[in-house]
Amino acid sequence: MAVYGYRKMHAQLPAQGWTGTGRDQVARIMREPGIRGVRRGRAPVTTRPAKGTGGRPDLVERGFRACAPNRLRVADITYARMADGRFAYTAFVTDVYARRIVGWACATGMGTREPPLQASGQAISRASRHGGAQGLVRHGDHGARYIGTVYTTRVPEYGMLPSTGTVGDSYDNAMAESVNGVYKTGLVWRSKPFRTLGELELATFQWVSWWNTKRLHASLDYKTPQQVENEHYEHQDGTSRLTVRTEQKPGQFRVMPQSP
């Protein structure tokens, strides 16, 4: 789905049966035929600021860390150019703990509200299989689609805590922006323009599967999101229940034992 740089290529080799190869050697071998990892470029702005935040604070403050799945999620929307010149838009919801994409949806036309709602619905369905979404922090930017649609419907309905960054600052939603960047450089820009929405949806489905189960993440010690999440649940004590306490200071989350 994408071309790794030499660091991730080196981390991938043992899984393919290649051992004893140094990182510098991998870099040299890739450099000789001109193989380079994909790089992200600039993209059109897809966020149209909503009018006001409705009193929703920034509970994250760029602290994109979570002690377990279903504690903190980030969301954003990006674009793909179609063969007929139109733009289609893809919404993603990513769980911060393992960088796993837990919801996504595509649609044509920037005016539609369906992608954020559909992506959020998938994410909530996944959370319901692991204790529910109550108390989960749902972080996004000031895009009108998320503030005007998701934050007024899905978030309060399922007991999630809304969080938004500052206007015009991509660093306040950096993890979601990173997902968008890899999606565009690894799939959208490396493919021929999609002829139909169905083609884009199929390609996105395959890309999300690759991201969750195959892609090595440096921030996860060169493991996949699925590996990290599986390890968490394997080591979780099934007899103890955990709950999240959101501290008064934004951006800090702790897992606290709950008495039986």
Numbers of helices and strands, H then E, in the chain:
8, 7
Task: Evaluate whether residue 62 is within a structural domain.
Answer: no
Q: Does 117 share its domain with 244?
A: yes
Q: Is the dihedral of CA 179, 183, 189, 195 positive or negative?
A: negative
- Highest mean pLDDT, choosing among 41-45, 174-178, 201-205: 201-205
Give the pLDDT band of residue 248 (cuts 50, 70, 90).
very low
The pLDDT of residue 241 is above 50:
no
Task: Evaluate whether residue 65 is within a structural domain.
Answer: no
18: containing domain: 1-37
Give the pLDDT band of residue 71 (cuts 50, 70, 90).
very high
Tokens matching residue 158: 């399922």
The confidence score (pLDDT) of residue 183 equals: 95
The pLDDT of residue 5 is above 90:
no
Cα–Cα–Cα angle for 179, 185, 191, nearest 5°?
Answer: 125
Task: Evaluate whether residue 224 is within a structural domain.
Answer: yes
Q: Does 10 share its domain with 88?
A: no
Q: Which amino acid is at 37?
A: G
Closest by CA position to 140, among listed 75, 53, 93: 75
Phi, psi of 87 (to 5 degrees): -110, 140
**Number of C-beta neighbours around residue 173 at 10 A:** 28
Q: Does 116 share its domain with 218?
A: yes
Q: Does 145 share its domain with 240?
A: yes
Q: Domain of 169: which CATH number?
A: 3.30.420.10
Q: Mapping DSSP to helix (H, G, I), strand (E, B) and coil, where does residue 41 land?
A: coil
- Is pLDDT larger for residue 40 or for residue 211? 211
Task: Evaluate whether residue 50 is within a structural domain.
Answer: no
Task: Evaluate whether residue 121 is within a structural domain.
Answer: yes
The predicted model gives 201-221 an average pLDDT of 94
Give the pLDDT band of residue 11 (cuts 50, 70, 90).
low
The predicted model gives 104-132 an average pLDDT of 86
The confidence score (pLDDT) of residue 83 equals: 93
- Is pLDDT larger for residue 22 or for residue 121? 121
197-213 and 225-235 are packed helices; what angle lies between their axes, rounded to 10 degrees?
50
Q: Which residue has the tokens 């306490």?
A: 245
The confidence score (pLDDT) of residue 224 equals: 96
Q: Does 15 share its domain with 125?
A: no
Q: Strand runs (DSSP E) across 69-216, as ranges?
A: 72-81, 87-95, 100-108, 137-140, 161-164
- Our measurement of the distance from residue 62's CA atom to the centroid of its chain's CA atoms, rounded to an integer in Å, reads 15
- Is pLDDT larger for residue 45 or for residue 206? 206
The predicted model gives 135-150 an average pLDDT of 70
Rounded to whole angstroms, what are the CA distances from 81 to 40, 109, 223?
16, 11, 31
- Highest mean pLDDT, choosing among 13-22, 51-60, 195-204, 247-256: 195-204
* 254 burial via Cβ count (<10 Å: 0-12, 13-18, 19+): exposed
Rounded Cα–Cα distance for residues 170 and 65 (Å): 17
Partnered with residue 95 across adjacent β-strands are 73, 100
* 156 burial via Cβ count (<10 Å: 0-12, 13-18, 19+): exposed
Share of the chain above pLDDT 90, in %: 35
The confidence score (pLDDT) of residue 122 equals: 94
Q: Is the dihedral of CA 123, 132, 54, 254 positive or negative?
A: negative
The pLDDT of residue 137 is above 60:
yes
Share of the chain above pLDDT 70, in %: 60
